[in-house]
Amino acid sequence: ITRKERRSEVRVTYVSNYLNRHQIPFCEAMHAKLEGQFRFVQTEPMEKERQDLGWKLDGSYEYVIEFEKDPEEAKKWIEESDAVLIGGTSDRYIQKRLDEEKLVFRIEETIFKNGIKDVLNLHKWNMIYKCHYRYRNKPVYMLCASANLEKELRHMDLYKGKMLRWGYFPETREYDLDALIKAKRDHLEQSGVVEVVWCARFIWWKHPEYVIALARQWRDKRLPIHATMIGGGAMYDDVRRTIQVEKLEKHITLTGPIQQEEVRKYMENAQIFLGTSGREEGWGAVLNEAMNSACIPVVHEKMGAAGYMIRNEVNGYTYAALTSCESIIESLADKLQRENLQDVSKRAYESVIQEWNAEGRATLLLKRIEELVNR
């Protein structure tokens, strides 16, 4: 049997810091499609902060190799696979493979996460040369886990013809879409209040304070809009105190950190998903989950996932400034009170079901790997 005929025997290894719930659906799809010829090499334990936020995984996964526990097996898979994916960990795990010019796919969100500070940082440019420029003519490809990264690479004339649009692909659920949208509508008609869901860590670059600013406007204008803020973090107590002091309880509810199943229930009830992270948000997998739950997304245009997943005013809305966000949400809330915006909700849902999901991206990537391997 020739190599070109042995498509099912392509072997792929994914090297990353640790397996998390956003990666599991993709890994499960790869494991199934490759009939066991797939491994995930985990290079470090998960941080306690993320475990406390519900990221800790229950159970084991047969395709996971912990590098510290079985370095020889991990190295064997890394060196002998037809293709290796790497993201979120050091190049030292794949340096031998890079030196031997074997097929590698990098997974990155952004290079200039800190904007102009990174552009002016000599250390950053040394890293760009070491990891990217020196491999321009080698079999090293890029899975762009944000629209921002694709733009950066094009400006630097890197990975020309060697980029795939990528992202993070949490669990995709198939709903009875008409029933889901009807339930949202019934909830709105019963309460008379438009529900907005916000889900993130309470840290500065996720901008939970933006929700406070919006809620002040809803209170002052007496608008029937309510936001549920899901998550915890360094700014949580400050946000909680501000809500109490400014008497915003009617417009904001805090849940604290909750399990993923509960998060999805809030999304299934909400009409709008609000994303306040900017370019610091490499991707933002919560957007996948919200759109999969048929929420109308309203997110900052620089959020990594926005440029790929959202077609403005078709399956969601993007904004550049908080004032624009305020106008969009108030306009949507007014329309939702008077008419059914199911077309936008449906298109948001269909974007995930038809394109931005683990199964589809695994198929796309394997097709590309097979093309390169079977040249």
Listing DSSP states for 296-352 in one string gives EEEEETTSTTHHHH--BTTTBEEESSHHHHHHHHHHHHHHHHHS--HHHHHHHHHHH
DSSP SS3 for 230: strand
337's CB contacts (< 8 A; 6+ apart) are 188, 194, 224
298 DSSP β-pair partners: 274, 317
Question: Does residue 316 contact residue 334 with C-beta atoms inside 8 Å?
Answer: no
d(CA 98, CA 92): 10
This prediction's pTM: 0.92
pLDDT value for 46: 72
List the pLDDT tens digit at each of the 375 positions of the chain: 333 333 457 999 999 999 988 899 999 999 999 999 999 999 998 766 666 655 566 668 999 999 999 999 999 999 999 999 999 999 999 999 999 999 999 999 999 988 888 899 999 999 999 999 999 999 999 999 999 999 999 999 999 999 999 999 999 999 999 999 999 999 999 999 999 999 999 999 999 999 999 999 999 999 999 999 999 999 999 999 999 999 999 999 999 999 999 999 999 999 999 999 999 999 999 999 999 999 999 999 999 999 999 999 999 999 999 999 999 999 999 999 888 778 999 999 999 999 999 999 999 999 999 999 998
Q: CA 251, CA 329: separation in Å to the nearest integer?
A: 14
Q: Bridge-partner residues for 312, per DSSP? A: 316
Report the Cα–Cα distance between both ends of the chain, in Å, rounded. Answer: 16
CA 363, distance to chain mean position in Å, is: 19
Cα 98 from chain centre: 27
Residue where the block lists tokens 């498509």: 7
Whether the Cβ atoms of residue 113 and residue 133 lie closer than 8 Å to each other: no
96 vs 92: CA distance, rounded Å: 8
Residues 6+ apart with CB under 8 A from 15: 40, 41, 43, 78, 84, 85, 86, 87, 89, 93, 94
State residue 49's pLDDT score: 67
What is the reported pLDDT for 60?
A: 81
Integer Cα distance of 3 and 211 in angstroms: 56
